[in-house]
Structure 1
């Protein structure tokens, strides 16, 4: 009996091992949401590096063909327009640091919100400050993620939710 029990355990371990799952696949099976979050976080880092380096090839790979982005000035850009701005150096980032990142997963969609401290130039003018942004990723049928939408809003200095910046001085 003892021999059978040992063989049974060894057989089970062997069968699990033969499943051939890597640590990443195993983690994805046990914690699919965590694995998806980590994938999206990695893509966010790739995007940041591409922005700082002006890496149009990486941006082209990350953006969906039907991408629409709203810039900090309110302009609406397609994928081709965004890539052209980077190629033509109309947009150059020298600093891009994100904090307060949150990822919300809904089916095949990932919504990322973050606070970004940026410095650089846009259309020949200096751009500096804090911006809150939302980037939307869609998981394609092949399992890869693409950025389908982006929007950025400047954070007003001194503003807090429910409080107008001039409320402390009594001005309206």
Structure 2
């Protein structure tokens, strides 16, 4: 398989793990020093992200990716995708169309997300 296909597979594993609240798989796919900027400008670490899933503070009912594009850059792959999202966060409903950018890095443990950003771009 080529690198882009590997990352596409990882993107799908990540999506499925987020919907399922599968903290073990999420941990495998996220770098220990992750920096993720959410749609409100909040910066989240790996520990915080995993805890939101573990505690069910974040519950994703639907996360459908579309218009995914991958761009290799100096040993990294930048994944840009849009998603239809329906979720609850801290018991508040969240829904809409979101744009995600993730920086994938391949290390000893395979492809993992090192950084990411999410912005709300529209209504469902």
Does the TM-score normalized on the shorter chain lie above 0.5? yes
Q: Deviations over 1:94-153 (max 9, x none)?
A: 00001110000012201000110000101111011000110111111x371110011110
Q: Would you say 1:56 and 2:33 are equivalent positions?
A: no
Q: Would you say 1:107 and 2:74 are equivalent positions?
A: yes
Q: Would you say 1:39 and 2:13 are equivalent positions?
A: no
Match of 2:120 in 1: 154
Which residue of 50, 59, 62 maps to 1:83? 50
Match of 1:95 in 2: 62
Distance 2:61 2:55 in 1: 16
Distance 2:94 2:62 in 1: 10
Q: Which runs of 5+ in 2 are unaligned?
A: none
Distance 1:147 1:97 in 2: 19
Q: Which stretches of structure 1, 4 residues or more, deviate above 4 A after TM superposition?
A: none
Q: Secondary structure at the match of 1:114?
A: strand
TM-score by length of 2: 0.94
Q: Deviations over 1:54-90 (max 9, x none)?
A: 0000000111011011112221011101101111111
> How many residues align structurally?
123
Larger relative contact order (C-alpha < 8 A, sep ≥ 6)?
Answer: 2
Q: Which has the larger radius of gyration?
A: 1
More helix by share: 1
Q: Secondary structure at the match of 1:37?
A: helix
- Are the counterparts in 1 of residues 96 and 122 from structure 2 also a CA contact under 8 Å? no
TM-score by length of 1: 0.69
Q: Which runs of 5+ in 1 are unaligned?
A: 1-23, 25-34, 158-172
Distance 1:156 1:98 in 2: 14
Q: Would you say 1:70 and 2:37 are equivalent positions?
A: yes
